[in-house]
Chain A
Amino acid sequence: MSAAVEVKKLVKTFGSTRALDDLDLKVETGEVHGYLGPNGSGKSTTIRVLLGLLRADSGEAKLLGQTPWKNAPELHQRLAYVPGDVSLWPKLSGGEVIDILGKLRGGLDEARRADLLDRFELDPTKKGATYSKGNRQKVALVAALSSDVELLILDEPTSGLDPLMESVFQDCIREEKDRGRTVLLSSHILAEVEALCDRVSIIRDGHNVESGTLSELRHLTRTAITVETAAPPSGIDGLEGIYGLKVEGNRASFDVDTHRLDAAIRHLSGFGIESLVSQPPTLEELFLRQYGDESKPEATADSAA
């Protein structure tokens, strides 16, 4: 299976700002790939380089096997894009914009267009100037999702959508995945990423800090344990990779590095486990640990003290 997106050592500077700094990113064909990162970390810049709107300073970017800066128009027939901040022409109606973008891309699926308008509850007769942010976003989504393409590039596509529309969006992305389409989804909404994505890449300061499936990423973080034992547990603080330990009589609660979980449970079973609650880290915790300034990327897995 070839990669739909392959980025190696990509560098993009704006004046003295290094927006992308040796970025690596790989999206396999057919997967939904979550692209996470704090504000200003370079997500949109990556996407714009992939679309050939910006020219990289160095490094390699391949999209569907081709170079975006050189082959932009040919590539664009095979992909659809939803920008994070959709600007519409004030005097054109939403329906007109959908048709224009669809036609410029090479045609759209009429049945799907009608279906999407219906599901997103979008009034196509309103003018661009009168749409709210969420509705502008819907215009771009309908235009992108009703075209017949291999790759969807979505830059925070659901910002401004209400929870009902968020769930419509998630259904649509699942349908796209079932049709074998590849999706690159940049997002801040962790529940959305958790629900949709096969794999995730985390970018920070223009640099890729983590890539993998959600369970792989989870493995790099801590699991929360609450345990009751027959005999009062002791010696937990002597184990490696234990944080925030609290012992009260026969109860103990602590966080443990996920790859040290086995050793911790073996130790506890010596005291006779009566009940055990184990909570895998949420994506949010994963996120906060990757972003938080005190935990530098190289310090996350092993040496955090």
Chain B
Amino acid sequence: MSDLTGTRTFVRFFARRDLLSFFWWIAGGIALYLLTAAGVDGVYPTQADYNAAAKELAGNSALIALAGPANALNTLGGQVAWQAGLFGEIIAALMSMFMIGRHTRAEEESGRDELIRSGVVGRFAPQTAAVIVVTAANLVLGTGIAVALMAYGLAGAGSIALGVGAAGAGLVFMAVALIAAQVTDSTRTMYGITGAAIGVAYLLRAIGDVGNGVLSWLSPLGWGQQMHAFDNEIWWPILLFPAVAFILAAVALRVANSRDIGAGIFATRPGPPRAGSFLQGEKGLAWRLQRGMMIGWAAGLLIAGLGYGSAGGDVKAVIGDSGVSKALAQGGGDLTDSFYATAILMMALIGSAFTISSVQRLRAEENAGRVENPLATALTRFRWVSSHGVVAALGSAVVVGVAGLGTGIAYAFVSNDFSQVTRLLGASLTYLPAVWVLGGLSLAIFGLAPRAAMASWLALVFCFVMMFFGPTFNFPSWLIDVSPFSHVPLAPVDSFDLAPMLVLTAIAGGLSTIGYLGFRRRDIDMT
């Protein structure tokens, strides 16, 4: 019996089990490119429009940091590559991360893996099968993107380069996820590590693209863009993807070989025999369960903020085509401030992901069967829900706040103006009520339709699309206004306005109340 015995069975099993998930990931990825192409076509009817846009966008540091280097923006292909390429790569990376996690560490953590491994199964069979299936999914995604864009009428070479960029990023982060799955014994931490790696890759290329470009080469998300799709393609970066993915996967298998099934490489240390007095209350418990995640998000956004802040000195011109920049141009104001308004809005949206996962922790606890025992004590449902709600609300303030703080501190050093620290911190906190609305929505979903937890993530994607692409695609303003973020003044450009903050906070409170009332009326889900 070899280390790979049973791989074939696993491949078939995984493929069938996840056919639908893969379909949605791949269809969503391809749709992103096609919709972008259709959108760009609609916005720029003539070549003169393209030329004007390219001229404006080429010098826009904020948008370059957001989306990548500005190449051939006077063509449809160049626009698609620029607007969709990086996000397509991130979709591929996330697909790889979730699918690898699902079939390796999550199986081990649940103990199902143990049952399967007692059968005639080689040591590396599950991992190898997961790698085969996820690799195939990335290749299908890449091919699908290339074929779809060619069918739309774009040049073959550029379409293929974009497909390669997405599939390649998917492969590299598949290998990263595989390593993360060996290092830790919890699926949640594994996603955290891989997500942080994706975040660092994004940040490296953002700083590199705005600066001299060296750092972009350290980022797997940058390699696809260095192929210059639709702009005299450069093909050799293709080789980087399989080479790096192979090396990382080999490392992962080596680690897998040296550890016990079910364990990470770090042994679990003993804990204290007694609970401290703070931990004994439900608020202490909620904080203890969530603090690791909150610290991780805060650290990530602090680094992102420092990155944006230090780029402030390089900002040259900020009159672009994105919805935000348009609004900024209309509002007037300092160009550097406009750059920071965009950056802080983006970090607030990213910080909302913490808020949503923090609120959804309620559902995770319920699904894991860990709410049954506490709710069979004198703990009321209200106190349980509000303990996690308070952690989510205050944690959001910390996560969003440090993003502004980091930006402010770094920019203060660059500009020698230390008033920027409080100014940019304040600007980031302006978004807090909008972030809370997403948290409240997530809580309402938990109470009323707990199985639809994914809907809160769709709401976040909606806000992101509306804020950055809504005006570009000429979405109706009422639709854009559904996003709570569109009601927040664009700090630090626009002046501070208390009224929308109070209204948004009230909405967040109302949604939370609805969520609690729904939860009070329903059964606890039992396994």
Contact = CB atoms under 8 A, between A and B. Distances in A.
Interface string A268-297: 000000000000000000000000000000
B288 interface: yes
Contacts of B527: 85
Contacts of A104: 280-282, 374, 377-379
Interface in A109-150: 123-127, 129-130, 140
Contacts of A51: 375-376
A230 interface: no
A249 B271 CA distance: 71
Contact of B280 (A76, A89, A99, A125): A99
B101 to A, nearest CB: 16
Contacts of A81: 373, 376
B274 A96 contact: yes
A96 B271 contact: yes
B523 A54 contact: yes
Given A93-B271, A93-B273, A96-B275, A76 B373 contact: no
Contacts of B288: 92
B333 interface: no
Given A92-B288, A100-B280, A126 B270 contact: yes
B279 interface: yes
Interface stretch (B18-26, B129-137, B364-372, B436-444): B364-372
Interface in A49-94: 51, 53-55, 72-74, 76-77, 79, 81, 83, 85-93
A209 interface: no
A129 B370 contact: no
A53 B375 contact: yes
A68 to B, nearest CB: 10
Contacts of B292: 91
B186 interface: yes
B119 interface: no
B185 interface: yes
Contact of B379 (A73, A91, A92): A73
A85 B521 CA distance: 24
B524 A93 contact: no
A90 B264 CA distance: 13
B272 interface: yes
A89 to B, nearest CB: 6
B377 A105 contact: yes
Contact of B186 (A55, A90, A100, A101): A90
Interface string B253-280: 0000000000000001111111100011
B273 A95 contact: yes
Interface residues of A, number: 43
A103 B376 contact: no
B373 A101 contact: yes
Contacts of B186: 90, 129
A106 interface: yes
B380 interface: yes
Interface string A155-186: 00000000000000000000000000000000
B4 interface: no
A302 to B, nearest CB: 39
Interface in B371-425: 372-381
B289 interface: yes
A267 interface: no
Interface in B483-527: 521-524, 526-527
A86 B524 CA distance: 16
Nearest to A93: B271
A86 B526 CA distance: 12
B481 to A, nearest CB: 39
Contacts of A103: 275, 280-281
Nearest to A85: B369
B329 interface: no
Contacts of B526: 44, 48, 53-54
Contacts of A124: 273-274
B273 A76 contact: no
8 A-B pairs with least C-beta separation: A93-B271, A99-B275, A103-B280, A95-B273, A125-B270, A104-B377, A87-B369, A81-B376
5 contacts: A53-B523, A86-B373, A92-B288, A99-B280, A125-B270
Interface of B: 185-186, 268-275, 279-282, 285, 288-289, 292, 368-370, 372-381, 521-524, 526-527
Given A76-B376, A104-B377, A153-B376, 7 more contacts: A48-B526, A72-B375, A81-B376, A96-B274, A100-B275, A103-B280, A140-B373
